[in-house]
Amino acid sequence: MAKLSVFRLAVASLCLCGRGDAYKRRQSAFTFSAEGTGLKLGGPNLAPEIRVAPDDFPGVIRAANDLAVDFGKVLGVNSTIVTASWESTIAQKNPSRPIIIVGTAGRSGLINNLAKAAKFDTSAVANKWESFSYQVLPTPWEGQDSIFVITGSDLRGTVYGIYDVSERIGVSPWHYWADVAPSKKQYIWATDTAAHSEGPPSVKYRGIFLNDEAPGLTGWGGQNFQKSQYGSAFTSEFYKRIFDLVLRLKGNYVWPVMWSSMFYLDDPKNGPLATEYGIFMGTSHHEPMVSLCSRRLKQL
């Protein structure tokens, strides 16, 4: 708990998609015994191949890579990530590894072609805010018995689906900040029950406010991250960790640190990083004042 204890992280307003019936269905989406049913995603010397279309959001491709790493943490066998077109995907008949297809409805060439072939129904997520679904899909194309599909309505919806699977197989959203070790598994099965879907969330913007960060977080950050030209440790390497936590908790908003720090100036990568991750950034105190002053100066 060392990292978590160095600062107060306000996550009370991270209103997630809900726990009720959706959470119960999620609990039965995966099993971990040697004799499971459905699609075997992992076992001794076996991990899935994760396929994502090159035309999907960069943030989705990034999170798909995280999922590959998470399977490795749980199984002890490395998963692989493949950027694949639809043509190359259907050309491969019954590969030796199970296939997971990840993609955003309306954007991913893989998901769009599955839907076009009437093999996959995206109505549970299409045109919705931050929604996702996943399921075992039987006979998606000739020569392929079954695959596992994760799809979302938009960038964050797809990423939430990816991280939801990560959590279910044994990787906690708090893997970094609270040092929660992955839950090791010998086998992972995706059950062939009805598709699991979540969203849209009941609260549109959900996140954390990094408030009163000095001295705890500031001191710890200075010991663990390279400081910017202005002496701040809160650069893109720090915010990668924050954004990862927020997305794994199905949030979308961050209010950055402010004491002697400038989110957009401390590291020029900070702003583009938030865009890639799909995180909305708030500002307070001096930053909106600077923006207001700049606009007024231009009017003079």
Amino acid at residue number 150: I
Position 133 pLDDT exceeds 90 = yes
Confidence of residue 28 (pLDDT cuts 50, 70, 90): confident
Position 21 pLDDT exceeds 50 = no
**pLDDT reported for residue 27:** 60
| Residue 5 included in any domain | no
Can the peptide bond before residue 272 be classed as cis, meaning omega within 30 degrees of 0?
Answer: no
Whether the CB-CB separation of 127 and 101 falls below 8 Å is answered with: no
Percentage of the chain beyond pLDDT 70 is 85
Domain end call among 141, 172, 198: 198
Nearest in space to 5 (alpha carbons), one of 126, 179, 239, 148: 179
Position 139 pLDDT exceeds 80 = yes
Nearest in space to 63 (alpha carbons), one of 72, 55, 52, 73: 52
The parent domain of residue 241 ranges over 207-299
| Residue 4 included in any domain | no
Domain end call among 180, 198, 216: 198
Cα(255)–Cα(262) distance, integer angstroms? 12
Regarding whether 163 and 215 lie in a shared domain, the answer is no
Report the CATH number at residue 167.
Answer: 3.30.379.10
| Residue 268 included in any domain | yes
81: which 2 tokens? 């990530």
Regarding whether 48 and 152 lie in a shared domain, the answer is yes
Cα(50)–Cα(169) distance, integer angstroms? 15
| Residue 97 included in any domain | yes
Q: What is the pTM of this model?
A: 0.88
Range among 26-30, 83-87, 109-113, 228-232 rated most confident: 109-113
Helix (H, G, I), strand (E, B) or coil at 88: helix
